[in-house]
Amino acid sequence: MNAVVAAVAIMLVLSLCRIHVVVALIIGAVSGGLIAGMSLEATIEAFNSGLGGGATVALSYATLGAFAVAIGKSGLAHALADKALALVGRQEEGAAVNGIRFLIIGLLLAIAISSQNILPIHIAFIPLVVPPLLYVMAKLNMDRRLVACVLTFGLITPYMFLPVGFGGIYLNEILIAKINANGVDASGLSVMKAMALPALGMLCGLLIAVFFSYRSGRTYNLETITKAERVDTSYSPRTLVMALLAIVTAFVVQLWLGSMILGALAGFVLFNLSGVVRWKEADDLFTEGMKMLAMIGFIMIAASGFAEVMRETGEIASLVDSSVGVIGENKAMAALLMLVVGLLITMGIGSSFSTIPIIAALYVPLALQLGFSPLAIVALVGTAGALGDAGSPASDSTLGPTAGLNADGQHNHIWDTVVPTFLHYNLPLLGFGWLAAMVL
């Protein structure tokens, strides 16, 4: 068996068996290296050498966690949640309550989409906004699997369709650049046209989740939520104003210096200077915040090590080569297999942005040989990279929603985030991405 396929399969099976994702990634990486014929020493060395690739992201999330705790202390998110709870209390069961559910879904979707372009903070908003809303969502019997699907849609679809913010990086700086570097001039092509059908597949998955899969709701323990989120939470107009100023400061610093780490630190320092966070509490508060997103950081670091072992095996290329033997001259089969291989790689690595450089050098010459148009190649490679971001245990697009929704311990990362997002997004994306490659 191909080592990459085996490593990803082992990692996914262990994750589904409720083995911690970090442990699953390490075992999967070591297994993949040994299956590829690497020695144990070489496998461990490759894994260790790749760990540094996730360090910057991990530190970013740690400081964002501290900033999130400071905002929580200001009471801003709880003020919004209290307004929503008061609105729920004034309504009777029925259409009005359904309207509030859709209002919350629409709000979270708008924030998630904006986090990729208008205010490019990625998943940093989730631990700020979602935990205070858990009580309201429980009162409305909202299924958190639905919220996970909504958040993941907002985190992925904008960067794979809109060439601004993170989308500008994914579509222009990575996708188009790598296709150009491998012999196809894609500079004058419309990436939005190429990715329109794959994005439509994501939208179909979202609509199925909202109106069919999770419309019946789910019951959660309100007492558990109260203990986790609504103890000793007070706020005043002054703390709310300072929270808004800190958020604006963090955004400005991040956009100015291009660093989430410095942006979050600037916001945290402003909370200290304003007195919202007392100096004697600052150290404990910062540590608490780092702990909150520490799991995401460790998983991202482990995923970087996993990715490095997969590269060192050299079997990503052989996986594509073995697929070529099955393809022959069949374009339809070629498009499907290339997308499936992209799905496997991204689910293991956990990053679409890291997958494109790996697969572009292999896919572009193959697609040219089979007669795909430049626009179809953009759609094919772009979709193959994005496939697996939803539904990967190691992706920040699934880790972020879990970090917010599991604040009270009632939301499982694998079964309540990873499996639902895999089913609702990867399957439609696979179908619509294949269709785009065939018709463009």
Give the pLDDT score at 203: 96
In angstroms and rounded to an integer, the radius of gyration of the C-alpha atoms of the chain is 22
Cα–Cα distance measured from residue 323 to residue 365, given in angstroms and rounded to the nearest whole number: 14
At position 240, the amino acid (one-letter code) is L
- Helices 279-292 and 260-274, axial angle in degrees (round to 10): 150
First-to-last C-alpha distance (Å) of the chain = 34
Q: Is residue 302 part of a domain?
A: no
Q: Each residue of 1-11: b (16+ CB within 10 Å) or e? A: ebbbbbbbbbb
For 237-293, where are the alpha helices, taking DSSP H only? 237-257, 260-274, 279-292
Which residue segment(s) compose the domain that 206 sits in? 56-294
Sequence letter at residue 179: I
Calpha distance 124→127 (Å, rounded): 7
Cα–Cα distance between 411 and 405 in angstroms, integer? 6
Q: Which two tokens stand for residue 257?
A: 């210096």
**313: its two tokens:** 């095996």
CA dihedral 211, 217, 222, 226 (to 10 degrees): -20
The two structure tokens encoding residue 105: 């879904």
Residue 116 in 3-state DSSP? coil
For residue 430, the one-letter residue type is: L
Angle at 292 between CA 19 and CA 145, to 5 degrees: 60
> Could you write out the DSSP letters of every residue in 280-343?
HHHHHHHHHHHHHTHHHHHHHHHHHHHHHHHHHHTHHHHHHHHHHHHHTT-HHHHHHHHHHHHH
What's the sign of the alpha-carbon dihedral 121, 301, 407, 234? negative
Query: What gap in Å lies between CA 270 and CA 109, rounded to an integer?
Result: 28
Has residue 85 been placed in a domain? Answer: yes
Residue entry with tokens 């998630």: 112
What total number of domains does the chain contain?
Answer: 1
By the 8 A CB rule, do 265 and 247 touch? no
In a domain, 330, yes or no: no
Q: For residue 135, what are the CA distances in angstroms to 142, 209, 216, 219, 239?
A: 10, 21, 18, 11, 22
User: Residue 225 and residue 135: Cα distance in Å, rounded?
Assistant: 6
**Is 105 among the domain residues?**
yes
Residue 292 has what pLDDT? 63
Question: What single DSSP character describes residue 146?
Answer: H
Question: Which of 298, 297, 271, 397 lies closest to 346 in space, CA to CA?
Answer: 397
Phi, psi of 412 (to 5 degrees): -85, 130
User: pLDDT digit of tens for each residue in the chain (440 aa)?
Assistant: 688 888 888 888 887 887 877 888 889 889 988 988 888 888 888 888 877 766 666 677 677 777 777 776 776 666 776 676 676 666 555 556 678 888 889 989 998 998 777 766 677 778 778 888 888 888 888 999 999 999 999 999 998 998 877 788 788 888 888 888 777 888 888 899 999 999 999 999 999 999 999 988 888 988 888 776 654 566 677 777 887 788 788 778 877 776 767 877 888 888 778 777 777 777 777 776 676 666 667 776 787 788 788 878 877 777 766 766 666 678 888 888 889 888 888 887 777 777 787 777 778 888 888 889 999 999 999 998 888 888 888 888 898 899 889 988 899 998 999 999 999 999 999 999 999 999 98
- Alpha carbons 221 and 138: distance in angstroms, whole number: 8
144 is a domain residue = yes
Query: Is this model's pTM higher than 0.85 or not?
Result: no
